[in-house]
Structure formats: structure tokens, C-alpha cells
Amino acid sequence: MTITTKQYEALTEETAIALARRLYPFPEGTELVCREIGDGNLNYVFQIKDPKSGKALIIKQALPYAKVVGESWPLTLKRAAIEANALQKHGEFAPGLVPSVYATDEELAITVMEDLSHLTIAREGLIQGETYPKLSEDIGEYLARTLFHTSDFALHPFEKKRLVAEYSNPELCKITEDLIFTDPFFNNDTNDYEPELQGAVEAIWNNAPLKLEAAKLKFSFLTEAEALLHGDLHTGSIFASESETKVIDPEFAFYGPIGFDVGLFLANLIVQSITRSGEERQVVLSHIEKTWDVFSARFTQLWEQEGIEAFKETAGYKEFVLEKIFRDTLGFAGCELIRRTIGLAHVKDLDGIENAEQRIRLKKQTLQTGEALILKRAELTSIGAVTGLLEELQP
Ligand code: SR1
Ligand code: MG
């Protein structure tokens, strides 16, 4: 459903309720309550609820600037339509793993969708020690299904190129190009880190082989239109419970290298593994292995059963593609680890550690792990080798 409005205005809790009444047949006289629950960097998220029946819906609205910085950082409203369309496109291939979209409005830059407040943002849950037994299986499936089905391995080239154009997302891509691939590798004002990390940070800025590899990874991100990515698949973009997983927030969606989505998710699990110890760490290391195992098994099955590429049975081609995705995954994961530690956008998993000495020690470990993944990505040829490296680097 498309809602017709005259012009953009930022919603308030009152106007969000009025809009919800227009969109959903709440019985006459129903008292609705609204809360702004957005905790991300960019948008407003209103939950509108009928407390009597418990029925609720979400109205997410893009602001014409980045909320995390303020009006000095203008940002396209078109991202709301990209997000709504990507949710629906990914939902075609990974049903049940994304929220249902009820309505959209490009002018108001809103998406009206399923309320998922019975679930918890995975990052928050993981920080509290949750194990989320289904997380890696569900995300491995989500990744394989959405990425395979939007790639040249599954689509007619005309349709694939139509989608590449539809999901052109230059402003949001620029944020990633700057914040993940460029700024943390240079002495740039956007970087943000504790003085105790100055030595480790300067070591990154002066590490010529590392910077060369970061440049190559940025080049891949800039140029390789392999599949319709989520584009920001960290654990804050996932709602989870013991039995359910839902991927939200694909406003950074665009056609890019498949390993970027896989790598961002794994990097955020790696941060968790660094903050944990003993059996609790093993649970996260198992999630890391299972994500890749499920992704590669499902991708292989889809290739064999539904692939349309003429070369699909040529000996070694499928393996070549999966090896490339794996190598990219590790490199992108490395960049994400570095930027979450010293760049503009941090993660609570690390910043929330109250003991300063422990926080700095774990941040140094995160940087070291990021560097190792970037530099050793060609040598690490199995996910077991990656978790082995993580265990070595996490005493
Ligand atoms: C200004 S946006 C900062 C970060 O938040 C988003 O979730 C993306 O990860 C982006 O890099
Ligand atoms: Mg987000």
C-alpha cells in the first residue's frame, strides 16, 4: 500500500498515532500509545500500540540528516524507499527472516511494518550473554538465499542490471566507503578512540601492507556488483529470540560484493567472541563456523539446483566463486573490526566495558584480529582456520 501525502515532515508521537489510525483499522475509540524506540544512528522508529489488544505496528521514518551527527550531515530521504524495497525483495527469497512491510510512503520517507518488540536486538542480547541457538543457521540461510537469488547466478542479465540501477544508493555507500574503508586507515577527524590506543592506531596508519590490502577491499566494494546486499548487517540490524531471527534495517542496500554482508555479520560475532571467555566464547565461535557452513552449503545447493549460469557445471568454477566470497568475507570482516574500534561508529559490546584496562586490552585485540584477517585472508582457507586464529589471538 502507498500512502499519499503532500510533503515531508518529521513525525512526532502524536502525528505517528494519527497516521497509524489511517493505515490500520483500529476499532473506533481505541486508545493508542506511541513510543519513539529508535536506537540506531540515522532514523526515527515509532511503535504504535493498542495496549488493550496488544496489537502494534512500527513506523520507521528517515530524517533528512544523520541522527548520530545532526543537521550538519544531510542525508538522502531516498534511503527509506531503498530499505522498504530491499525488505520486500529479500523477503521473497528468505521468507520469515525479515519483517513484513505493510505500507510505504516515499514523500514522508516512511516504512510501516510488523512490530517485532517480542524479540530483542541481537547485539543487546548477546551482550547480556544470550546464546541465540538459531542465529547462525538463520543468518547463514538468509545470506545464501538473498545473495544467490539476486546475483547473476540466478537472474536474467536484464533483470539483474535493472535491479543494480534500482538499488543505486550512492550517499549511503559513501558513508561505508568513508567510515569503513578510508577514515580508520588515515588520521581523519571522524575517527574516535581513547588516548591509550594512540600507539596502536598510528601503527595502522603507518602499516603500508595493511593499507594496500584495505585499498584493494575498498576497490572491491566500489566496483563489484555481485548481489543485492543488506549493506549493514551487524548484530544491531538483527532481532532475535531463542526461536526466531529477523533481519531489519537494509537502508544501505545496494549491489556489491557478496562477502561484505557475510563479513560484517561475522565481524560483529568476532567482537562478541573477544568480549567472552570459556564456554561462552565457544558458543560464539560455533556460531561463526555455522554461519559460513550453512551459507556455503545452501549457496552450493541453490547453484546446483537453480543456477542459470552456462558455466555452472564447469569443474572448479563454483569452488572459485565460493573461495573468492570467503576471502572477501575475511577482508571485509577485518575492516569492520578496525572501524568499530577506532572509527566514528562504535559498538556497545566494546564501549560498554566499564573496566578501562580491560576495555583497552580487548580493543587492542580487536584491532589485531582485524589486521590479521585482512593480511592473512589468502592463507586462511577454511572457517576452522579462522576460528583457530581467533583462539590464538584471544588468550
Ligand atoms: C553515520 S552512520 C554510522 C554507521 O551507522 C550505520 O548503522 C552504519 O553502520 C554506519 O556506518
Ligand atoms: Mg541501521
**Which ipTM value was assigned to this complex?**
0.98
pLDDT at 67: 80
CB atoms within 10 A of CB 162: 12
Task: Spell out the per-residue pLDDT of the chain, length 395, in tens.
Answer: 656 566 899 999 999 999 999 888 788 889 999 999 988 778 999 999 999 989 999 999 999 998 878 889 899 999 999 999 999 999 999 999 999 999 999 999 999 999 999 999 999 999 999 999 999 999 999 999 999 999 999 999 999 999 999 999 999 999 999 999 999 999 999 999 999 999 999 999 999 999 999 999 999 999 999 999 999 999 999 999 999 999 999 999 999 999 999 999 999 999 999 999 999 999 999 999 999 999 999 999 999 999 999 999 999 999 999 999 999 999 999 999 999 999 999 999 999 999 999 999 999 999 999 999 999 999 999 999 999 999 999 87
What's at 42, amino acid-wise?
A: L
pTM (predicted TM-score): 0.96
Domain ranges of the chain: 13-114, 120-393
User: Rounded to the nearest whole angstrom, what is the distance from the C-alpha of residue 66 to the centroid of ligand 2?
Assistant: 11
Please count the residues of the chain: 395
pLDDT at 28: 80
User: Rounded to the nearest whole angstrom, what is the distance from the C-alpha of residue 51 to the centroid of ligand 1?
Assistant: 33
Of the chain, the end-to-end C-alpha distance in Å amounts to 53
Beta strand 70-74 with 65-66 is antiparallel
pLDDT at 1: 60
Q: Which ligand is nearest to the CA of 83?
A: 2
Helix (H, G, I), strand (E, B) or coil at 192: coil
User: Rounded to the nearest whole angstrom, what is the distance from the C-alpha of residue 229 to the centroid of ligand 2?
Assistant: 13
Residue 115, marked binder: yes
pLDDT at 7: 86
- Ligand 1: nearest atom to the Cα of 232: 9
Contact 231, 176 (CB under 8 A): yes
pLDDT at 2: 59
Residue 189, marked binder: no
- Ligand 1: nearest atom to the Cα of 42: 2
Q: Identify the residues whose C-beta falls under 6 Å from ligand 1.
A: 40-42, 66, 68, 175-176, 179, 232, 345
User: Rounded to the nearest whole angstrom, what is the distance from the C-alpha of residue 345 to the centroid of ligand 1?
Assistant: 6
Residue 43, marked binder: yes
- Ligand 1: nearest atom to the Cα of 68: 1
- Ligand 1: nearest atom to the Cα of 69: 1
pLDDT at 86: 98
Q: Which CATH architecture has domain 120-393?
A: Alpha-Beta Complex (3.90)
Cα pseudo-dihedral 67, 69, 73, 74, rounded to 10: 10
Q: Which CATH superfamily is 13-114 part of?
A: Phosphorylase Kinase; domain 1 (3.30.200.20)
